[in-house]
Structure 1
């Protein structure tokens, strides 16, 4: 195997000897362990591990490694995945009217702070095409009406498949995706919303938050599921505000928080730091990478 960093994500029933068995397996195969992060959910009796390995000097192929690891994993009931770090993930950004998240993601991408290939931007409006042109990213305008929703989703899905998209980022794409679409890209769609939900759903949430006199505003990034805005939470953040804040300042502060939260969530996903367990996301911190 060529010089590279290999990342395994493991979930299984908690049991004695897991660390010893897993680390010994990789030692015997000639890997150097760069980091080993673990978490035990004592309530659900479940064990989680993220282990990063240096493959320098190993002679084993990917196929042989996975076949051999499966022999360890099967009796221990591992739910596992492996990433070899030799291929950047392909990302599609979906957006409607609002530009702040799109600008931020594209800037981070162009500066190399998001390790991916942004292959396209998909929108149900033509309003933000100039941003795509600015960053030299293909822009696909696919309008949607109630009576054409399924046809438009089919167009979107065909585009994503044709470009081998690994991750879809809903950067304020203001359309509800169908269950079929979400399940087809299960745990591969990240959405962002303000943390007023469900208290301030619908139009003008910042105006209604102002009227309610909130003292905290924030944002939540999560995986999209059939239950709107209730998928596994990846990142959240909040900022205190005061009675002096207007709907305009609340909206501006909220947009800044959204950008940071969405960017962190996308980076966590791209870095293989997340294990989804039921409706929870176990997010391991960066380990010196």
Structure 2
């Protein structure tokens, strides 16, 4: 009887480095030498700054001589290639889920959307906790079997609240923090600590209508579309690198509250897209903008 082949193991390799000849050949040649099959390949050569970006989804198939290559062995073997071209790179198992901490205030639509998408497996995330400065959503969060942490915030307690947040990030081994309509401005110190691993949803099509009450600002300007922007958090309010945006058409009959209602779907979709693309390794930071390979 023939020995059955081992099932394939799938991985995702992401990298960026200065553009030079031979990059694609070097990476694809490495995978060929390792007995791997490329399932999806995306790349971008930025003409602005001669920077190269690449995402590869590949499989290592087992055979009669042994099982598929391990994550550790592939990482070790790729080091010389990465060093030769000065790459920043990451190699993860394709099935690996990011450990995510969600922060929310009183508006629950984005929270509910992320909880549902994670529950049905649409997002490659493991929600390890939800932090809120209000108690409103404890019931729905705990119904999903997820720990809920009430961390109230006032002007006097803000430093202690942010210390508590970072304690949770460290203790829960959080890889990504998602601000799902968390209506508190983070301090510069906290945004530095979370650089590149915190995503916010702003209920406006940035760079228009920053700050508070953007739908009311939009109504005052008589806009014909409203939208939402998911971006990385940085020290500048609503100025972080943009990951995803969504818009919906409106007209002069929409008052501020109708604009708010119309915008909810754009907020949910922009945020879930940003979370998915980040966790699938499709988003690369390039200064104050992003490259999204999808």
The answer to whether TM tops 0.5 is yes
Hey, what does 1:149 align to over in structure 2?
158
Note the aligned Cα RMSD (angstroms): 1.8
**Count of residues in Structure 1 that have an aligned counterpart in Structure 2:** 285
SS in 2 for 1:190: strand
Match of 1:14 in 2: 19
Change (3 A) 1:251 1:47: same
How far apart are residue 165 of structure 1 and its match? 1.1
CA distance in 1, matches of 2:22, 2:43: 13
Structure 1 residue 99: deviation in Å? 0.8
Structure 2 segments unaligned to the other structure (5+ residues): 1-5
**Cα distance in structure 2, aligned partners of 1:63 and 1:247:** 54
Residues 196 and 205 of structure 1 are in contact (CA less than 8 Å); yes or no, is this contact kept in structure 2? no
52, 55, 66: which one aligns with 2:57:
52
Could you tell me the TM-score, scaled by structure 2's length?
Answer: 0.91
Corresponding residue of 2:3: none
Q: Deviations over 1:32-82 (max 9, x none)?
A: 111111111112111111011102226544333223211111121111111
Uncovered stretches (5+) of structure 1, i.e. residues with no partner = none
Q: CA deviation at 1:196?
A: 5.0
1:27-46 superposed matches below 5 A:
27-46=32-51
1:140 partnered with 2:149: yes
Q: Distance in 1 between matches of 2:228 and 2:176?
A: 20
1: CA distance between counterparts of 2:7 and 2:174? 25
What whole-Å deviation, never above 9, does each CA across 1:259-281 have from its counterpart, x for those lacking one?
Answer: 01101111111211112122221
TM-score normalised to structure 1 length:
0.93
User: Matches of 1:56 and 1:5 in 2, distance apart?
Assistant: 9
**Correspondence for 1:206:** 215
Indicate whether 1:168 and 2:181 are aligned.
no
Work out the CA distance in 2 between the residues paired with 1:152 and 1:145: 9
| Contact 2:206 2:228 survives alignment (8 Å) | no
Does structure 1 residue 262 correspond to structure 2 residue 271?
yes
Distance 1:90 1:195 in 2: 27
Distance 1:166 1:261 in 2: 20
Distance in 2 between residues matched to 1:7 and 1:43, nearest whole Å: 26
Bigger mean CA offset, 225-234 vs 127-136: 127-136
